[in-house]
A and B are shown apart, each in its own frame.
Chain A
Amino acid sequence: MQPFTTHTGLVAPLDRVNVDTDQIIPKQFLKTIKRTGLREGLFYDWRKRKDGSPDPDFFLNQPRYQRATILLTRDNFGCGSSREHAPWALLDQGFRCVIAPSYADIFYNNCFQNGILPVVLKTDEVQALFKGVSKEGYALTVDLASQTVATPDGATYRFDIDPFRKDCLYKGLDAIGLSLRHDSAIAAYEKRRKTEAPWLFTDLAAR
């Protein structure tokens, strides 16, 4: 996984609440058996007008946001389905960071598995960033070590993040590798649990 340390990038605004993962990446793009190439499905239904032509009003169709790497949005982003295709598609489009007042749990978690930093800021801070992004070329610097978002006009907003998640993302650690380091603890747990609750260990292959 690509580490996230400090990142400066253009901001793209998606001014909607409750954006669900069905909108981020519709079902027809979930038939893939790969993690890559999902960019074309990102916000697929919102990119087009009813006649199928690109909707010039949709932010991702505007030249000024083509190279954006920070997505600015509203409450409860990523609700609904657990599809990890949502962060995969965002990453494929070039987004390394999302900023919103709140996220759905599974999406939030999935971001960390893919080197994307989901920043939680207060509602009024997000509102201030939405004001700022009306200027073309609006860029932010997101620094994970200091847990801050810095604006071009000198404001700095601090965000919270669990220390363990922060460390994994900062170093780009492989979460499975980390857990496998505790193999003996897992084995000890299984041994103890087998005597406490043996019915949990009647495995299917052993039938």
Chain B
Amino acid sequence: MAAKTLFEKIWDAHVVRTEPDGTTLLYVDRQLVHEVTSPQAFEGLKLAGRKPRRPGATLAVPDHNVPTTDRKLGIADPVSAKQIRTLEENCRDCGITVFGMNDVRQGIVHVIGPEQGFTLPGMTIVCGDSHTSTHGAFGALAFGIGTSEVEHVLATQCLLQTKPKTMEIRVDGTLSERCSAKDVILAIIGKIGTAGGTGYVIEYTGSVIRALTMEGRMTLCNMSIEAGARAGMVAPDDKTASYIKGRPMAPTGDLWEQAVKAWRALPTDSGATYDKTVELRAEQVAPQVTWGTSPGMVTGVDGMVPDPKAMPDDRARKATERALEYMGLAPNMPITQIAIDKVFIGSCTNSRIEDLRLAASFAKGRKVAKSVHAMVVPGSGLVKKQAEQEGLDKIFQAAGFEWREAGCSMCLAMNADVLQPGERCASTSNRNFEGRQGAGGRTHLVSPIMAVAAAVEGHFVDIRNWK
């Protein structure tokens, strides 16, 4: 049998049929649904008189619009409230499991999938959300789709797909102390660009990736879409299986044994080839900070804001000038001199228990600068509960961070957590687009511990030598 990559094995196992031009009807094992990209899909289904083919293969949760303040007060915005109510009604009508806003299991869709054991290796997983790539950390083929495709999957449990190309991104060497998966993925995006992965599924390989925890792998795969990739994947190993074992929706008994056996056969065969390979040395990865309005506009914290005048390419120069104007930054300014107003620790990129533990260990005994407003938004109700059992909430609060309820929150500011025009935020989220965290708001993407250090000092600091 020909040697195959992890991606090819999963793809081949899910082909229902293929059109003459290669367009494939691909079977979807699991779908995650949230309130923003699903109402029109459910409406379309109803209008066509169709029913979900496998309602039990779908899990729904409201996350984008939910308030992160006291939920007993309900949702102040009636339009947000209606969207969440619509999700709950649609799921009830269709027999789809939904974790409501007041369910302790509620949280960001990409946090709860893995947390519940809903996400498993070898699966095809989709969601009307580009950060579905997160689930690739488990050796699943997981990608974001549009609302019409959400409807397609509900109706048929399949999707029409063209086969993507494969890219290996190999990261070897030793990461500097205090550098994390977030710094690795930002450095990768800086290297290959925000369209560098377009048309590809990325598999991350190399010693650094193997050494990452499951949570680190999720952070890494989460931002694959920021490199333009259809999906990001990491081959499953013993860490993957230990993470999943015993979770509420994970297989048990004989099924567990069978599943684990099948997962062992998933990693890329020796001799299999990728359409493209990119290599990165871990030693070259400094703690990363974005300076612009696209995740590829990034540099090490020991670097400077670039000078557009030094750019030979006309379009790159224009894009940089525009970004610096929006960001209110001067060329050649050291990154460590950038003062911030807000800090957001959260999002599907960095809101899991490990992120919060690490962030808390740096916040312990310190104080958020007077000029800074800082908040921590756990990824799920269960992450929040776990953190509180470990006393992390007390550490954050003592340091001056607000401790919130779970949701997407200021990552995209669809709820009340919004930057004001001109405000500058150190954020552990995934997008620094213009207006992403609020119209006129300025976002710098960083790792959780870089965010803590920035909150304490009021400006970015090199976490590697922060005392």
With a CB–CB cut-off of 8 A, which chain A residues contact B152? 175-176, 179
CA distance A45 to B439 in the complex (A): 7
Digit string of A44-58 for contact with B (CB within 8 Å is 1, else 0)?
Answer: 010000100000000
Tell me which of B120-128, B171-179, B380-388 binds A: B120-128
With a CB–CB cut-off of 8 A, which chain B residues contact A163? 20-21
Q: Is A79 an interface residue (CB 8 A)?
A: yes
Of B20, B55, B421, which one neighbours A205 at CB under 8 angstroms? B55
CB–CB B155/A204 < 8 A:
no
Q: Is B79 an interface residue (CB 8 A)?
A: yes
Tally chain B residues at the interface, Cβ within 8 Å. Answer: 86
CB–CB A26/B435 < 8 A:
yes
Count A/B pairs, Cβ under 8 Å.
203
CA distance A109 to B147 in the complex (A): 11
Q: A76-B195, A200-B123 are in contact. Are A106 and B145 (CB under 8 A)?
A: yes
Of B43, B144, B439, which one neighbours A106 at CB under 8 angstroms? B144
Q: Is B148 an interface residue (CB 8 A)?
A: yes
Min C-beta distance of B411 to chain A, whole Å: 10
CA distance A165 to B161 in the complex (A): 10
Of B64, B148, B256, which one neighbours A84 at CB under 8 angstroms? B148
CB–CB B145/A186 < 8 A:
no
Q: Is A145 an interface residue (CB 8 A)?
A: no
CB–CB B122/A197 < 8 A:
yes
CA distance A182 to B55 in the complex (A): 19
With a CB–CB cut-off of 8 A, which chain B residues contact A205? 55-56, 95-97
Min C-beta distance of A115 to chain B, whole Å: 11
CA distance A193 to B12 in the complex (A): 12
CB–CB A83/B195 < 8 A:
no
CB–CB A114/B148 < 8 A:
yes
Q: A82-B130, A106-B144, A199-B251 are in contact. Are A22 and B56 (CB under 8 A)?
A: no
CB–CB B195/A18 < 8 A:
yes
Q: Is B203 an interface residue (CB 8 A)?
A: no
CB–CB B228/A200 < 8 A:
no
Min C-beta distance of B243 to chain A, whole Å: 16
Digit string of A12-51 for contact with B (CB within 8 Å is 1, else 0)?
Answer: 0000111010110011101111110000000001000010
CB–CB A18/B129 < 8 A:
no
Q: Is A110 an interface residue (CB 8 A)?
A: yes
Min C-beta distance of A82 to chain B, whole Å: 4
With a CB–CB cut-off of 8 A, which chain A residues contact B40? 33-35, 84
Tell me which of B80-88, B276-284, B352-360, B457-465 binds A: B80-88
A50, A179, A193: residue with the most chain B Cβ atoms closer than 10 Å: A179
With a CB–CB cut-off of 8 A, which chain A residues contact B434? 22-23, 45
Which B63-79 residues have a C-beta within 8 angstroms of A? 64-65, 77, 79
CB–CB B228/A176 < 8 A:
no
Q: Is A113 an interface residue (CB 8 A)?
A: yes
CA distance A204 to B59 in the complex (A): 8
Which A177-207 residues have a C-beta within 8 angstroms of B? 178-180, 182-183, 185-186, 189-190, 193, 196-200, 202-207
Q: Is A104 an interface residue (CB 8 A)?
A: yes
CA distance A28 to B159 in the complex (A): 29
Closest to B45 in A: A176
CA distance A31 to B158 in the complex (A): 27
Which A143-159 residues have a C-beta within 8 angstroms of B? none
CA distance A83 to B43 in the complex (A): 16
CB–CB A27/B148 < 8 A:
no
Closest to A178 in B: B160
Closest to B80 in A: A31
User: Can you list 21 pairs linking A and B with CB atoms under 8 Å apart?
Assistant: A27-B414, A34-B43, A45-B435, A50-B440, A74-B315, A81-B129, A82-B128, A82-B144, A109-B146, A162-B162, A163-B20, A164-B21, A164-B23, A175-B160, A176-B156, A179-B25, A179-B160, A183-B156, A193-B13, A200-B123, A206-B56
A residues sitting closer than 8 Å to B (CB atoms) are 16-18, 20, 22-23, 26-28, 30-35, 45, 50, 74-76, 79-84, 87, 102-106, 109-110, 113-114, 162-165, 175-176, 178-180, 182-183, 185-186, 189-190, 193, 196-200, 202-207
| Sample of 20 further A-B pairs with CB below 8 A, known A162-B22, A182-B16 | A26-B435, A30-B36, A30-B64, A31-B79, A33-B43, A34-B43, A74-B315, A76-B228, A80-B225, A80-B433, A82-B37, A83-B36, A84-B40, A105-B164, A113-B146, A175-B152, A176-B50, A189-B16, A203-B54, A205-B95
